[in-house]
Structure 1
C-alpha cells in the first residue's frame, strides 16, 4: 500500500506540474484591416539638370564619316556647256570661328568644258577635260532641334590651288572663268550637304532614348533586403546650343520620378516613344530629386519577423517567442499582429504610428500599445505580458532600418555620377549630398517614406564612335 501511495503521489505531482507549465491561449479580437484599394500616393517629381559639352572634334569626325566621296555632280553639258563632278579630297576640318562653325572642305574637281557655236545647224565645239583642286570654306550657325544638332550653313569662299586655262580658237581661256559662275549654282547644294551630314551624324535621339530606357529599367540595390530603384522619366528639356571654345554647350534637364521599392522586381514604367524634348531658355545648374521609399505591409512584415528571430521575452519563468509578424493599416494607424508561442500561444495585436528616425535612418512606431481587446484579454489570461516592460522590449524589434537601402541607393546613384558611360564617347560625372528625410505617409497597402537628394551632374561628349 505504501508503495502504491508513493506511486499515486508521483503521478499527482506530475499532473500538477504539467498543469502549471502548460501554455495558456489568448483569443483576442482581430482589428480588421481596411479595404485594400490600389496603391496611390502623392509623389513629387524630380528635376535633374545636366550641362552638356560636345567636342567640335566629334562633330568633325562624325561629319567626315557621313560625307564621303562624290558630293556634287552635273552631267548635262547642253544647258551651260560644262559638266562638273566634285569629290571630297581630304578630311573636312571643323572649328569655332567667332561663335560659328567654320567648315573647311578640300575638293577635287573634274570639269568637261566646251567652247564653240551651234549656228544654222552646224555645231563647232572644242571640248576639254580638266582636273584641279580647291578648298571651300563655309560658316554655320548652330542650334538643337528635335534631338538633332542643326546647322544653317552659308558658303563663304573658294580658293583654287591651280588656275588652268585652255587655248581655243587661238585664245587662252582660263577655266576658272567658267567654273566660278557654276559655283553660284551648286553652292546651295554644298551648303545643304554639310547641314544634312551634321544633322544625320549628330542625331542624339536614338542614343538619348536608349540611355533613358536603360536608366528606367529597375535596378536591384540589395538582394538581402529585396530593394529596387525605379526611375520613370517624363519630360526632357534643352536650352539653345552655343559654341564655347572647342565645345558646343547646352543645358539639358530631366523630369522624372524616383522610387525605392521592396519585394519583387517592379515593372518598368517608361515608354520612350512618348517622351518629348521641350525647349527652355535656362535651367538651374543642380539637381533636386525626390525619392519615395515604398514598403508594402507584406514586405515590412517579413523584415520585422526577421528582427524577432532567436529572441525570447520573459517575465520570471514565463517566456514567449514571436514566430511571425503581420502589418496592416487601420484608422490612420498601423496594426502589428504578433503570433506567439511559449507560455502564451495565439496572436496579440499592437497599434502605433509609423515615424522616421533620421539619425538611425529607420522606420519605428510611436505610441506603440496593445489593441484594446488584446489588452483586456491579456489582463484576464496573462497579466504578466500586459505590463509595459515586455511591450517596450518588443517595441525595439518592431522597426526596420532604411539605412542599408539608402546606402545601396546612394551607391547606385553614384555609379551614374562617376564617369558613367551609357554609350561610347559619352561620360556622366557629378556629386550628391546626403539623403534627407521629408515625411512618412500611410496608404492602404504601404508605408511611404519621402526623401530628398541634391547635387550636381554634367555630361561630356568626347570620342563618339
Structure 2
C-alpha cells in the first residue's frame, strides 16, 4: 500500500518447474503401488475339499481273521494204561474146552491172568508182559502090547506172553493199536503122565499158544479201541475254544475263535507217557458289541495226521479312535497355535481342525487366519508306532488342490515346515486300549479251570503292529498279539 502511494510497483518473483509428462506417470504408478501394497488384505484360500471315501467298515475290521492253532496235548501215562489194562483183563481170558472133531490135537486149554500186566516203553513202542496160568488137558490113545488104552490127562503150568504195541489215532477219532507178539517165556513147563510115564507136551502147547497169539493180539487191540475214547473230549475242547471270551467291558470287545479243522501228531512213547498233540486250527477275531452267540456242535471234522503242527496262536487287538475324539484331541493340540514363516514375515494361526478319511489316508482340514485366511487340506497315512504306543501319521503333505492354490497365493507356506510339524504333533494315545486287551487275554490264559477236567492255559509273547484302518466313524489300529494256547484235558482213561 505504501509503495503504491509513492509510485513504486511491487517485485514479483516467478519460478517455473519443468517436468516431463512420462516421469509424472511413473511417479504416479509408484505412489499407487505403495498405497495398494499397504492396503492389500491377507490371502484367502478356499481349495476344493478332498472327497470323503472309505474302503473298510467297522464290521469288516472286526471280522478280520487271523490263522491260529490251539493245542490240545494228549498224554496217557503208561502206568495208567497198564492199570486200565489190568482192570479190563482179569480172570479167565481164553478157553478151548472141547474134544470136538475139529480139535485135531485132542487138546483142551484154559488161560488165566495170574499176575498184573507189566508195561514199559522202548523205541516208541509199548512193550508189556502178560503173566498167564494155563490149564491143559490132553486126550490120548495108546496101545502098548496091542492093548488100546485111552483117556485124558490134565496139567497146569505158567508162562509169560510178551507183546509190543504201537499207538495211533484213526481219522475217525478212534484210538488204534497195532499189537504183535514178541514171543513168550516158560515159567514152568507142561507135562502129563500116562501109565506112570512123563510125556512132555511143551511142543504141542507152544504150537497151540502160537496159533492163538494173533487172536490174543487182536483181543488187546479191540479192547483198546473199545475203551480208549477220545472224540467226546475233542468235541468238548472244540466247543470250549468257540466260546467267546470277554476282553474289555468298556469297549465291549470279545475274543472269538472259529475252528476249521483238526490236526494230530503221531503218538510218541517216552518218559513214561504215551503222548500226542492235537492242533485245532481256525481263525481268531476281535468282535465289538454284544456277546456273540455260539451254538455248541455235536460233531467235529475228521482228523488230519501230520508230523508238523503249527505253533502260533494270534489275535488282533483293536485300538479305536472315533473321528470326533480325534478332532477334539487335535483341536486341543493346534487351535490357537501360531506358526511363523520367513523369519516372522508371515504368520498364521490355526482356528479349526476337522478330520475324516479318504481311502487309506487321513484328511486334515485346517482353518487358518493371519497371512492366510481360509482353509487348507493335508493328507497323511496313519500307522501304529509300537515304540511310542501312539497312533501317528507319516508322509503328511498338502492335498493336490490345496497345493495348486498355495503355489499361486502363498508359496512360502509350501516351503515351510508346517506339514512336517503337523505330522510330528498329530498323535493319539491308544496304548491303554491295547494294554487292557492284552491284559484281558492273559487273564483268560492263566491256567484257568474252565470245566471239570479241562484247563485252559497259554501265553502271549509278542505284539506286532498290523495296520490302521479308516472306517466311516473311526480310526482303527489293529495290533496282532502272538503266543500259544493249550487246552488240557484229564480223564481220558
Mark yes or no: TM-score above 0.5: yes
Match of 2:479 in 1: 451
1:232-243 matches, cutoff 5 A? 232-243=258-269
User: Using the alignment, how far apart are the partners of 2:56 and 2:64 within structure 1?
Assistant: 19
User: Using the alignment, how far apart are the partners of 1:459 and 1:42 within structure 2?
Assistant: 24
Match of 1:441 in 2: 469
User: Using the alignment, how far apart are the partners of 2:240 and 2:283 within structure 1?
Assistant: 15
Match of 1:58 in 2: 80
Residues 214, 182 of structure 1: CA spacing in aligned structure 2 closer, same or farther, 3 A cutoff? same
Residues 450, 130 of structure 1: CA spacing in aligned structure 2 closer, same or farther, 3 A cutoff? farther
Match of 1:376 in 2: none
User: Using the alignment, how far apart are the partners of 1:158 and 1:273 within structure 2?
Assistant: 43
User: Using the alignment, how far apart are the partners of 2:224 and 2:473 within structure 1?
Assistant: 52
1:6-25 matches, cutoff 5 A? none
Match of 2:177 in 1: 151
C-alpha contact 2:156 2:190 (8 A) present in aligned 1:
no
Residues 232, 165 of structure 1: CA spacing in aligned structure 2 closer, same or farther, 3 A cutoff? same
Which residue, 398, 402, 411 being the options, matches 2:443?
A: 411
User: Using the alignment, how far apart are the partners of 2:455 and 2:303 within structure 1?
Assistant: 21
User: Using the alignment, how far apart are the partners of 1:217 and 1:419 within structure 2?
Assistant: 14
C-alpha contact 1:289 1:452 (8 A) present in aligned 2:
no
C-alpha contact 1:39 1:446 (8 A) present in aligned 2:
no
CA distances 1:63-120 after superposition (whole Å, capped 9, x unpaired): 33433343323233213223323232322111123443211011232334322389xx
1:205-284 matches, cutoff 5 A? 205-250=231-276, 252-268=278-294, 271=297, 273-283=299-309
User: Using the alignment, how far apart are the partners of 1:398 and 1:181 within structure 2?
Assistant: 79
Give the TM-score of the pair, scaled to structure 1. Answer: 0.62
C-alpha contact 1:95 1:103 (8 A) present in aligned 2:
yes
Residues 35, 245 of structure 1: CA spacing in aligned structure 2 closer, same or farther, 3 A cutoff? closer
The alpha carbon displacement at 1:190 in A equals 0.9
User: Using the alignment, how far apart are the partners of 1:304 and 1:331 within structure 2?
Assistant: 20
Which residue, 151, 155, 167 being the options, matches 1:126?
A: 151
Which residue, 311, 314, 330 being the options, matches 1:290?
A: 314
Match of 1:372 in 2: none
Match of 2:386 in 1: 358
Which residue, 115, 118, 137 being the options, matches 1:93?
A: 118
Q: Across the two proteins, how many residue pairs are aligned to each other?
A: 387
C-alpha contact 2:317 2:480 (8 A) present in aligned 1:
no
Which residue, 432, 435, 438 being the options, matches 2:460?
A: 432
Moved more, 453-462 or 402-411: 453-462
Residues 276, 408 of structure 1: CA spacing in aligned structure 2 closer, same or farther, 3 A cutoff? same
C-alpha contact 1:38 1:445 (8 A) present in aligned 2:
no
C-alpha contact 1:95 1:102 (8 A) present in aligned 2:
yes
- Specify the SS of the correspondent of 1:433: strand
Unmatched 5+ stretches in structure 2: 1-51, 337-354, 364-378, 397-426
CA-atom RMSD in angstroms: 5.5
User: Using the alignment, how far apart are the partners of 2:95 and 2:258 within structure 1?
Assistant: 49
Matched, 1:162 2:188: yes
